[in-house]
Structure 1
Amino acid sequence: MAIRITCINKDNGYHQNPNLAITHLGWIGEDGKSNKSTRLEIYDWIKNQNGIAYVTDYFGNKVNVFTAETINGTKYLKTAADNTTTNNLLSLPECK
């Protein structure tokens, strides 16, 4: 099953890399179920359970979400490069 990431929550503290500031991601599945999960829950689901996550832009184009790790071992999510200059995950609205 694939999920579409629809919103994010970020820490309020200072972060050198803004991608690491994401704490939770809201999503909706192909079955219509929606929920909010931590960054690490989504990371593990993609990495260890072959989950598929994506975001859509204003025009409905899909961009896949991938797992990544910093040199210090911090696990985070990023999107594939596309033709936009904006960060696809950080451009999402805050989850309620």
Structure 2
Amino acid sequence: MTSRHEVKCINKTDRYNAHERIRAIGGVNPNGTNWKLTQEEAIRGIEAGKWSFYVAVRGHIVNVIVAVSRFGNKYLKTEADGEQPNNLLSLYECVS
């Protein structure tokens, strides 16, 4: 069964390509501890049906999906975004 998690923070790279912009995503577990996954780990988990992720944007829930760049590289973005993962990029930097 897929477990659903809210993405509260990200770690960015200094790259401009959509598939290279996000290094990691993170959030808070129900018990209050923090979780963090690399973009690659999150993509594998989504594709395996292990996890699904979402972002709360101005009171709306937006699903995080796996996208493929025009060069064939997988990356994370929200359904509402174009090529650039702007809803994710607007989140705070993960500290841990």
Scaled by the length of structure 2, the TM-score of the pair is 0.77
User: What residue number does 2:68 align with?
Assistant: 69
User: What residue number does 2:23 align with?
Assistant: 23
1:79 pairs with 2:78: yes
Per-residue CA deviation, residues 11-68 of structure 1 (Å, 9 max, x unaligned), is: 12x42x3453100111234x34531110010111111125210000233x21000001
| Separation (CA, whole Å) in 1 of partners of 2:6 and 2:36 | 11
On the 8 A contact 2:18/2:69 being kept in 1, the answer is no
| Separation (CA, whole Å) in 2 of partners of 1:64 and 1:81 | 8
Unaligned ranges ≥5, structure 2:
none
On the 8 A contact 2:39/2:76 being kept in 1, the answer is yes
Amino acid aligned to 1:2: R
On the 8 A contact 2:26/2:34 being kept in 1, the answer is yes
Note the aligned Cα RMSD (angstroms): 2.2
| Separation (CA, whole Å) in 2 of partners of 1:55 and 1:36 | 15
Unaligned ranges ≥5, structure 1:
none
| Separation (CA, whole Å) in 2 of partners of 1:79 and 1:70 | 14
User: What residue number does 1:7 align with?
Assistant: 9
- Any idea what SS the aligned residue of 1:71 has? coil
Count of aligned residue pairs for this structure pair: 89
| Separation (CA, whole Å) in 2 of partners of 1:92 and 1:18 | 16
User: What residue number does 2:53 align with?
Assistant: 53
On the 8 A contact 1:5/1:55 being kept in 2, the answer is yes
